[in-house]
Structure 1
Amino acid sequence: MSIATTRSTATARSAEAGRRRPGAGRLGRQTRHGWAFLAPFLGLFLLFEAIPIGYALVQSLREKQWSGLGLDGPVERFAGLANYRRVLEDGEVIDGVLRMFLYGVVQVPVMLLLALAMALLFDAGVARGRRFFQFSAFLPHAVPGIVAAVLWAYLYVPGISPVVGLLQDVNIEVDFLGPDTVLWSIANIATWQWTGYNMLIIFAALQALPRELFEAARVDGAGGWGIAWRIKIPLVRPSLVLTALFSVIGTLQLFAEPMVVRSLTANVTATYTPNMAGYAQAFGLNDPNYAAAIAVSLAIVAFALSYGLMRAAQRGVDS
């Protein structure tokens, strides 16, 4: 037998052995099973996330154009980045973004500090009736945002609010719906509704920490404050980052609370937040293309802020 024939025979046998290799068929079945488990998620993601985002992106690159007297209706045409230039030049949208930024800079840290303090108190067992207070803290989150806004609006309106009435009895005049206070009245609604939710996330992380660390710290002479500051808070940093990320996204989605308060005061305009501006353009002025540009721009800002927050948190962990 020639050397060439021997080599070809060996190659064929190796290929056949590879085809018959134990586990190859099992690996293929596992791959198919994996895709089968992923299929429901991928289908829902494609239907409710990818397709709407793609549609909004396409709509943001188009605009309506009327010809003649406009009796034949508008015709959509490709507009490129014209709608995005409008967003950057729209003073009302820019004011809404700045207002939302101020809201987030104040409201998010206050809410997370309250949530962290409550979680630390519950974890330390300082508060009696801990389960009752935990349930009470989480209960506002179970109230829909619209209902919460209506409840608090009742407490803001002079003449029917018991809070305003009590303050007036002690000669304290507060206009919760005034031009300088209405933003913080809205922030109070969101803080009331979401503090308990964030508290539970942080509290769950605290409960997962090994108790031996705290006992060792007490043996070394550390007090409750020292344990909380030097051990508990650093170890639950991922949960703090997660709650901060959720809170930033929630700030960018601010819509329901100012929409309800808007019916009570003229100090909340139709473009008070970027989401309200997009809603007004789409359903009030019948300009869905510009509304889509506002939505996509806001999504880009949300992605940038979320990515920056995650990167900053990662650098903090690495250092």
Structure 2
Amino acid sequence: MTTTARRKSGAPYLFLTPALLLFGLFLAAPILYAGYLSLRRVKVSGLGLGAGSRTEIWAGLENYTRSLTDPEFLPSVLRVGAYGLIVVPCMLGLALVMALLLDAGRTRVSTFARTAIFLPYAVPAVIASLLWGFLYLPRVSPIVDVLDKVGITAPDALSSSWVLYSVANIAIWGGTGFNMIVLYTALRSIPTDLFEAARIDGASDIAIALRIKIPIIGPSLVMTTLFSLIATLQVFAEPMTLRPLSNTISTTWTPLMKVYRDAFVRNDIYAAAATSVIIALATFVISYGFLKLVGSRAFSQES
């Protein structure tokens, strides 16, 4: 191999080096360190006050057992599951409908509409939660004042009966625009000849959407669903921001909030690391299972 050929073969790795270094330092290394901490614990000797009275020792799977048997862990998992059942279908359904409407040319201000729908995604989750928290509070919410004037009693959005829907609403409001842009971009890449041929055959816009557009953008739907599932399992900012506004959101309302409590309130980084590893494994299993399920169905339909 000549010197020029060697340089050409090594060029891709040279360009990948900065990205690989950043990945290793800020993603891979913290994951490995969290896995290491999850297998350790602190042994306290005596009153734990003197030098050397606290030593870090091997704990095995003890931290994982404590995390899984914590009475607050399972309710937080079930709560996130219910949250996902609300957010994922509603968010993707709205995104798909909006993308189809924009692609069908039903609005003359498509550029403005795309920007307006996408804009909430550009608002950070903490800021969005503060804005919606202001709208949820009965004493300061202009929405509640308007409803009261027309004789409608608005429910307390931060009560125990409504807080799950209130948190889900923030996620739907913020995430619909991103998914709409992804789906709309996929729709715009479909050749218009298919639509024209379908219209010549007498197909309506609804039939074209159901039988041509949605099946073709199936991979984009799978991708957005996968991203939405991962984001659902990692919900943290919205309930954490709303928590000071309501006593219905506990410190372990979601699994990630439990990690935060264990690490920064109870100063138990070992239990927090174990719970983090459990969440990461659950995310991987659910994502992999979803992709396998979608792949197996697609294969069965083709065969």
**TM-score, structure 2 length as denominator?**
0.95
Instruction: Please show how residues 233-252 of structure 1 align to structure 2 within 5 Å.
Output: 233-252=214-233
Q: d(CA) in 2 for partners of 1:258 and 1:148?
A: 11
AA matched with 1:232? K
Q: Number of paired residues? A: 297
CA distances 1:268-298 after superposition (whole Å, capped 9, x unpaired): 0000000000000000000001000011100
Q: d(CA) in 2 for partners of 1:157 and 1:260?
A: 13
CA distances 1:174-230 after superposition (whole Å, capped 9, x unpaired): 010110110110000111011001100000000011111111111111110000000
SS of the residue 2:41 aligns to: strand
Of 15, 23, 28, the residue aligned with 1:45 is 23
Q: d(CA) in 1 for partners of 2:293 and 2:176?
A: 23
Q: Counterpart of 1:148?
A: 128
Runs of 4+ in 1 over 4 A off after TM superposition: 23-27
Structure 1 gap segments, 5+ residues each = 1-22
RMSD: 1.2
CA distances 1:222-277 after superposition (whole Å, capped 9, x unpaired): 11000000000000011111111111111111111101110011100000000000
On the 8 A contact 1:167/1:174 being kept in 2, the answer is no
Q: d(CA) in 2 for partners of 1:133 and 1:185?
A: 25
CA distances 1:89-122 after superposition (whole Å, capped 9, x unpaired): 0111111111001100121101000000000000
Residue 183 (structure 2) pairs with residue 191 (structure 1): no
AA matched with 2:296? R
Identity value in percent: 47
Structure 2 gap segments, 5+ residues each = none
Please state how far the C-alpha of 1:171 moved relative to its aligned partner.
3.4
Residue 251 (structure 2) pairs with residue 273 (structure 1): no
Q: d(CA) in 1 for partners of 2:23 and 2:152?
A: 56
Of 61, 74, 90, the residue aligned with 2:39 is 61
CA distances 1:42-85 after superposition (whole Å, capped 9, x unpaired): 11111111100000000000111211011035211110011111
Of 77, 81, 95, the residue aligned with 1:115 is 95
SS of the residue 1:174 aligns to: coil
Q: d(CA) in 1 for partners of 2:84 and 2:5?
A: 49
SS of the residue 1:64 aligns to: strand
On the 8 A contact 1:62/1:289 being kept in 2, the answer is yes
Of 117, 142, 145, the residue aligned with 1:137 is 117
**TM-score, structure 1 length as denominator?**
0.90
Q: d(CA) in 2 for partners of 1:189 and 1:27?
A: 54
Q: Counterpart of 1:14?
A: none
CA distances 1:128-172 after superposition (whole Å, capped 9, x unpaired): 211111100011111111110000000000111111222333232
AA matched with 1:156? Y
Q: d(CA) in 2 for partners of 1:85 and 1:249?
A: 24
Of 259, 274, 292, the residue aligned with 2:240 is 259
AA matched with 1:46? G
Q: Highest Rg: 1 or 2?
A: 1
My pick for the range that moved more, 90-99 or 280-289, is 90-99
Please state how far the C-alpha of 1:314 moved relative to its aligned partner.
1.6
Of 195, 201, 204, the residue aligned with 1:223 is 204
Please state how far the C-alpha of 1:26 moved relative to its aligned partner.
4.9
